[in-house]
């Protein structure tokens, strides 16, 4: 082979070419095909000594040299691959004039006008060895600036694969049968909207008109995906076109959809209070044209744009973990152009795509790019060139397609799907379209975009254009087309008549969860716990665990060998044993969050790291009798997407304990949408139940406003309709039982669990083996130390119990003051508390003073919630009203200085323990 350094030394881009050539010499397959063709040709051409080519590349002095021409051609090919999409005819609202793309002009590429008819080497781009520049330039334009714009430069293997598919001339193959199918899909899509528009005048539906091509694209996707082994497709999408997708892709009955448009609509199925029609989810087994069926799920979502993205990914992952693999479960996210560019959760969600614990083998993203967000135009809503530019950060190829070219759109989704299946990457389809009406059908778009809407009004519909095309190609006659249209109109009319029936008659019979399931037994025989602790500490001898961690594991074993009644079991042991026993019960355990493997406060050590080789060992993955998988993943530094992901996972993986842990409880507020819109209300709104557990470290330890409060007041404010379980456990045994209850209970509810920080190592925070063996979760805990006639009953929850306990002991007031713990705040354990209080009322001569004590400011914590609940109980017992001891109301969650924190602490403890 030629000596590259000598040969290319004086050429333009010499260092790059030399590097490429060196790589070619080592392995011709390592350089991309155009360069390979160039080097092949150059070597075959007799190792001609390359002549100088000036750096500006356009000097006539060098023209005529084969090498110089080849370099320029290669540059031109690369330029089209990189910038060709800028000239693609992908925009149905494009201005007539052709945009200026300097990188693709002949002069920029180093060609003079005189060369237009001159033969040049094609460097492998065309089958011919050489063709006139004009032909080559046109071929490149045809390939890269036609009806599909592609962005894939620099994407390695997916780019090479794509290049092969599209070079030259971007051939697309669409059979007549597929053309007919596309047409039928467009008919259904358009006529559906038109029917609602005329029958249910002025009602919001977020019409798909202007983007109807989405329907044949999705139909084709389901068809080819099922052909290629995908059995489940998961869709996440916003309002735009949702009803159309429900009806025409998932096959939700037209009658059921129209029913929700009826004035008197109020579901009679006894479900929750429901949601608007364009937020609801649906599942269907969809038959495909090629004779398969595909499970298609459309995830329910709130109005909060893009919030559903991580949920769909979590659902997909859960399906993949339950016996399927990534190539069989396909997540598809349908975005709006304004929201995909504007909402940060899109980035957070995509950040999950390549991570071991969160990947789903690639997501297809379709942007319904109607080039407007409500009334705001792209130039005011993003700084990036394309709304899809986020895809580039994650190596996702992007196709820009014009909704008025349905065949190209359908072909592009086929390519996108193949890319996803082959490379496991995300792929974007930018479906350039328009919005026929305002943001919704009652909105007047000409207030803000008069000219654009003049243009839109003059447009023929996508269906009309395609109908004309097929008619002109002789594929369907006018009579056949009319017959199709008539058939659909009749179908809609009939569905509208059927829509008058009650909801229950229109719904398929559904299985409902039985809410009367008894609570599970959560105790575990002592021998099993002892055996499990032993197995967990049995680390391979070759593994060099950190000595402190190894010692900790051995301490756990020793704690379990002590007298059954001894308070020897700490928080970490109670927690780990809950996981271990559940794994033996066949329950999958998944924990995710920032730094969860070690635990933010170094208590968990679910992952050990070999101190010499940095290998990893997960004791919980090595239990001899485990019947389910233990997964624990340090998450990226995101709350919104990661919590959303785990929520989605929990919707699908039912026999599981799924835990998301916040680093500190207050960081959960960056995932507020998931809590407010999904966890707390999804059962009411959509009948979607989740058993997800949130670990929220909470406690006032003087660390300042941002590391103290998990904002329990917010969760309590959202608590109603038995929607969540909110628990603030104070002992390892309580934690053990509540986690086991959460996993084993057939009735799935989210569990909001406030977890300790300093208490993780507190000498008083220990439980006995007997409590784990014989006990169960207790929603209220009484006070065995208090005397028979306490003068004061203190009610509290969480860490403050131990503060009160210690201070009471210091003052020798055990007999006079009883401290009662509300361990489960919601559902409020009224019966259990009443029972407990009866003991005191029976024993006391007169009912003692009752006081709620908390460390949070008075406008926070549980006070506002429990004062009603406890107050009502006290009233029925003719006891005095509940008084309060705690910090004063405050705008900030906690004091910034430790001294102030202590001062406040001393004041409320004094108030609680004084007479
Ligand atoms: C997080 C969030 N912020 C604001 C809104 C209000 N809103 C509803 S639709 C919309 C415009 C969305 O534009 P785009 O994403 O382009 O979708 P399109 O409606 O054009 O299909 C806005 C701002 C919302 N639903 N969610």
> 608-644 pLDDT, tens per residue?
999 999 999 999 999 999 999 999 999 999 999 999 9
Q: What pLDDT was estimated at residue 212?
A: 98
Q: Which atom of ligand 1 lies nearest, measured to the CA of 370?
A: 20
Confidence of residue 25 (pLDDT cuts 50, 70, 90): low
> 198-225 pLDDT, tens per residue?
988 888 889 999 999 999 999 999 999 9
Which residue has its alpha carbon closest to ligand 1 atom 22? Answer: 374
Whole-number Å distance between alpha carbons of 143 and 76: 13
373 close to ligand 1 (CB < 6 Angstrom): yes
Q: Which atom of ligand 1 lies nearest, measured to the CA of 673?
A: 1
Whole-number Å distance between alpha carbons of 891 and 690: 33
Whole-number Å distance between alpha carbons of 387 and 376: 13
Q: What pLDDT was estimated at residue 298?
A: 97
Q: What pLDDT was estimated at residue 381?
A: 96
- Asked if pLDDT for residue 835 goes beyond 50, the answer is yes
Q: What spacing in Å lies between the alpha carbon of 173 and ligand 1's midpoint?
A: 36
3-state secondary structure of 334: strand
Q: Which atom of ligand 1 lies nearest, measured to the CA of 335?
A: 15
Which residue has its alpha carbon closest to ligand 1 atom 20? Answer: 373
- Asked if pLDDT for residue 839 goes beyond 70, the answer is yes
Cβ-Cβ contacts under 8 Å for 624 (sequence gap 6 or more): 535
> 233-286 pLDDT, tens per residue?
999 999 999 999 999 999 999 998 998 887 777 665 555 778 887 888 899 999
3-state secondary structure of 615: coil
Confidence of residue 915 (pLDDT cuts 50, 70, 90): low
336 close to ligand 1 (CB < 6 Angstrom): yes
- Asked if pLDDT for residue 60 goes beyond 50, the answer is no
241 close to ligand 1 (CB < 6 Angstrom): no
Whole-number Å distance between alpha carbons of 338 and 375: 10
Chain length of the chain: 915
DSSP structure string for 537-558: H---TT----HHHHHHHHHHHH
587 close to ligand 1 (CB < 6 Angstrom): no
> What mean pLDDT do residues 25-37 have?
69
Beta-strand relationship, 824-826 and 630-634: unpaired
Q: Which of 275, 304, 339, 438 to mutate to test the pocket of ligand 1 (most atoms within 8 A of CB)?
A: 339
Which residue has its alpha carbon closest to ligand 1 atom 10? Answer: 374
387 close to ligand 1 (CB < 6 Angstrom): no
Looking at the chain, the whole-number percentage of residues with pLDDT higher than 70 is: 91
> 553-593 pLDDT, tens per residue?
999 999 999 999 999 999 999 999 999 999 999 999 999 99
74-102 residues labelled b (16+ CB within 10 A) or e (exposed)? bbbbbbbbbbbbbbbbbbbbeeeeeeebe
> 314-365 pLDDT, tens per residue?
999 999 998 888 999 999 999 999 999 999 999 999 999 999 999 999 999 9
- Asked if pLDDT for residue 879 goes beyond 90, the answer is no
Q: What spacing in Å lies between the alpha carbon of 343 and ligand 1's midpoint?
A: 10
Whole-number Å distance between alpha carbons of 470 and 543: 69
Query: When comparing pLDDT for 221 and 842, which is higher?
Result: 221
Whole-number Å distance between alpha carbons of 376 and 372: 6
> 61-78 pLDDT, tens per residue?
355 678 889 999 999 999
Confidence of residue 33 (pLDDT cuts 50, 70, 90): low
> 357-407 pLDDT, tens per residue?
999 999 999 999 999 999 999 999 999 999 999 999 999 999 999 999 999
Looking at the chain, the whole-number percentage of residues with pLDDT higher than 90 is: 81
Q: Which atom of ligand 1 lies nearest, measured to the CA of 241?
A: 21
Q: What spacing in Å lies between the alpha carbon of 446 and ligand 1's midpoint?
A: 18
599 close to ligand 1 (CB < 6 Angstrom): no
> 104-138 pLDDT, tens per residue?
999 999 999 999 999 999 999 999 999 999 999 99
Q: What pLDDT was estimated at residue 67?
A: 86
- Asked if pLDDT for residue 52 goes beyond 50, the answer is no
Whole-number Å distance between alpha carbons of 419 and 224: 13
Nearest Cα to 193, choosing from 488, 500, 457, 408? 488
Q: Taking the CA atoms of the chain, what radius of gyration do you get in angstroms?
A: 33
692-708 residues labelled b (16+ CB within 10 A) or e (exposed)? bbbbbbbbbbbbeeebb
Q: Which atom of ligand 1 lies nearest, measured to the CA of 240?
A: 21
> What mean pLDDT do residues 425-447 have?
95
Q: Which atom of ligand 1 lies nearest, measured to the CA of 374?
A: 11
Residue 659, classified by CB atoms within 10 Å of its CB into exposed (0-12), middle (13-18) or buried (19+), is buried
User: For 385, which DSSP code?
Assistant: S
Q: What spacing in Å lies between the alpha carbon of 342 and ligand 1's midpoint?
A: 10
Query: When comparing pLDDT for 784 and 543, which is higher?
Result: 543
- Asked if pLDDT for residue 896 goes beyond 80, the answer is yes
Q: What pLDDT was estimated at residue 842?
A: 62
Whole-number Å distance between alpha carbons of 881 and 152: 70
3-state secondary structure of 23: helix
Whole-number Å distance between alpha carbons of 553 and 538: 9
Q: What spacing in Å lies between the alpha carbon of 207 and ligand 1's midpoint?
A: 14
Beta-strand relationship, 849-857 and 792-796: parallel
Q: How far is CA 611 from CA 17, 543, 594, 616, 633, in A?
A: 45, 8, 22, 10, 20
Q: What spacing in Å lies between the alpha carbon of 387 and ligand 1's midpoint?
A: 14
Asked whether 550 and 538 are in contact (CB, 8 A), the reply is: no
Whole-number Å distance between alpha carbons of 403 and 397: 19
Whole-number Å distance between alpha carbons of 353 and 361: 8
Asked whether 743 and 587 are in contact (CB, 8 A), the reply is: yes
Q: What spacing in Å lies between the alpha carbon of 204 and ligand 1's midpoint?
A: 14
Q: What spacing in Å lies between the alpha carbon of 763 and ligand 1's midpoint?
A: 53
Q: Which atom of ligand 1 lies nearest, measured to the CA of 435?
A: 20
Beta-strand relationship, 608-609 and 656-661: unpaired
DSSP structure string for 386-403: STTTHHHHTT--EEEEET
Whole-number Å distance between alpha carbons of 36 and 819: 80
> What mean pLDDT do residues 12-25 have?
61
276 close to ligand 1 (CB < 6 Angstrom): no
- Asked if pLDDT for residue 450 goes beyond 90, the answer is yes
- Asked if pLDDT for residue 196 goes beyond 80, the answer is yes
The residue with tokens 């390359």 is 50
Q: What spacing in Å lies between the alpha carbon of 320 and ligand 1's midpoint?
A: 31
Q: Which atom of ligand 1 lies nearest, measured to the CA of 373?
A: 13
372 close to ligand 1 (CB < 6 Angstrom): yes
- Residue 827 preceded by cis peptide, ω within 30: yes
Asked whether 133 and 115 are in contact (CB, 8 A), the reply is: yes
- Asked if pLDDT for residue 697 goes beyond 80, the answer is yes
303 close to ligand 1 (CB < 6 Angstrom): yes
pTM (predicted TM-score): 0.92
């Amino acid at each position: 082979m030629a000596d590259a350094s000598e040969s290319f030394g004086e050429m333009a881009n010499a260092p790059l070419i030399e590097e490429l050539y060196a790589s070619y010499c080592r392995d011709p397959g390592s350089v991309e095909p155009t360069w390979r063709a160039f080097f092949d040709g150059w070597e075959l051409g007799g190792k001609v000594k390359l002549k100088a080519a000036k750096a500006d590349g356009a000097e006539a002095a060098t023209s005529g040299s084969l090498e110089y021409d080849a370099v320029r051609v290669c540059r031109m090919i690369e330029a089209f691959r990189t910038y060709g999409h800028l000239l693609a005819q992908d925009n149905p609202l494009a201005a007539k004039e052709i945009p200026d793309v300097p990188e693709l002009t002949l002069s920029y590429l180093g060609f003079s006008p005189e060369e237009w008819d001159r033969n040049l080497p094609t460097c492998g781009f065309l089958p011919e060895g050489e063709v006139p520049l004009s032909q080559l330039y046109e071929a490149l334009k045809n390939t890269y600036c036609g009806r599909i714009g592609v962005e894939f430069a620099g994407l390695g293997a997916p780019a090479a694969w794509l290049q092969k598919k599209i070079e030259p001339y971007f051939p697309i193959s669409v059979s007549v049968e597929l053309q007919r199918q596309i047409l039928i899909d467009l008919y259904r899509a358009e006529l559906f909207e038109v029917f609602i528009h005329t029958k249910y005048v002025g009602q919001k539906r977020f019409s798909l008109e202007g983007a109807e091509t989405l329907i044949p694209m999705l139909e084709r996707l389901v068809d080819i995906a099922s052909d290629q082994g995908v059995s489940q497709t998961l869709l996440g999408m916003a309002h735009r076109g949702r009803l159309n997708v429900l009806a025409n892709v998932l096959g939700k009955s037209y009658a059921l959809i129209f029913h929700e448009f009826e004035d008197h609509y109020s579901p009679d199925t006894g479900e929750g209070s429901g949601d608007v029609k364009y937020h609801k989810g649906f599942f269907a087994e969809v038959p495909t044209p090629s004779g398969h069926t595909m499970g298609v799920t459309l995830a329910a979502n709130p109005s909060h744009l893009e919030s559903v993205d991580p949920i769909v990914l979590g659902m997909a992952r859960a399906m993949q973990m339950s016996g399927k693999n990534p190539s069989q479960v396909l997540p598809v996210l349908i975005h709006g152009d304004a929201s995909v560019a504007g909402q940060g959760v899109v980035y957070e969600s995509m950040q999950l795509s390549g991570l071991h614990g969160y990947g789903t083998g690639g997501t297809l993203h379709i942007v319904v790019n109607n080039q407007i967000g409500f009334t705001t135009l792209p130039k005011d809503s993003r700084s990036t060139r394309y709304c899809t530019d986020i895809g580039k950060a994650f190596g996702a190829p992007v196709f820009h397609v014009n909704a008025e070219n349905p065949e190209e759109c359908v072909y592009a989704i086929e390519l996108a799907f193949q890319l996803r299946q082959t490379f496991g990457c995300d792929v974007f389809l930018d479906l350039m379209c328009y919005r026929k009406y305002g943001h919704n059908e009652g909105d007047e778009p000409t207030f803000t975009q008069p000219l654009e809407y003049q243009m839109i009004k003059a447009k023929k519909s996508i269906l009309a254009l395609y109908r004309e095309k097929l008619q002109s190609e002789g594929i369907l006659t006018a009579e056949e087309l009319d017959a199709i249209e008539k058939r659909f109109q009749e179908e809609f009319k009939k569905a509208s008549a059927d829509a008058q029936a009650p909801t229950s008659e229109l719904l398929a019979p559904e299985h409902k969860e039985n809410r009367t399931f008894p609570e599970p037994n959560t105790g575990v025989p002592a021998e099993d716990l002892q055996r499990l602790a032993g197995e967990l500490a049995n680390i391979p001898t070759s593994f060099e665990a950190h000595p402190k961690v190894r010692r900790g594991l051995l301490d756990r074993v020793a704690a379990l060998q002590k007298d059954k009644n001894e308070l020897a079991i700490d928080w970490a042991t109670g927690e780990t044993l809950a996981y271990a026993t559940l794994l033996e019960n066949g329950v999958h355990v998944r924990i995710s969050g920032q730094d969860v493997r070690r635990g933010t406060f170094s208590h968990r050590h679910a992952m050990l790291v070999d101190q010499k080789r940095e290998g990893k060992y997960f004791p919980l993955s090595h239990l001899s009798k485990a019947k389910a998988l233990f997964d624990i993943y340090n998450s990226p530094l995101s709350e919104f997407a990661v919590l959303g992901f785990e929520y989605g996972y929990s919707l699908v993986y039912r026999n599981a304990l799924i835990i998301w842990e916040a680093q500190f409880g207050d960081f959960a507020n960056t995932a507020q949408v998931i809590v407010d819109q999904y966890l707390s209300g999804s059962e009411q709104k959509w009948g979607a139940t989740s058993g997800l557990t949130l670990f929220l470290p909470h406690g006032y330890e003087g660390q300042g406003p941002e590391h103290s409060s998990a904002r329990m007041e917010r969760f309590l404010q959202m608590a109603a309709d038995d929607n969540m379980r909110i628990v603030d456990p104070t002992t390892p045994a309580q934690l053990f039982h509540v986690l086991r209850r959460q996993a084993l209970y057939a009735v799935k509810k989210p569990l909001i669990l406030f977890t300790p920080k300093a208490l993780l190592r507190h000498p008083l925070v220990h439980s006995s083996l007997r409590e784990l063996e014989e006990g169960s979760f207790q929603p209220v805990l009484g006070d065995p130390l208090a005397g028979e006639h306490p003068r004061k009953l203190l009610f509290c929850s969480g860490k403050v119990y131990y503060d009160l306990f210690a201070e009471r002991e210091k003052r020798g007031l055990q007999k006079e003051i009883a401290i009662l713990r509300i361990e489960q705040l919601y559902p409020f354990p009224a019966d259990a508390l009443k029972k407990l209080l009866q003991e005191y009322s029976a024993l006391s001569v007169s009912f003692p003073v009752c006081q709620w004590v908390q460390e949070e400011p008075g406008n926070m914590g549980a006070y506002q919630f429990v004062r009603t609940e406890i107050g009502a109980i006290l009233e029925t017992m003719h006891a005095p009203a509940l008084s309060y001891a705690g910090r004063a109301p405050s705008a900030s969650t906690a004091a910034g200085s430790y001294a102030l924190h202590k001062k406040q602490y001393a004041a409320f403890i004094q108030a609680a323990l004084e007479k």
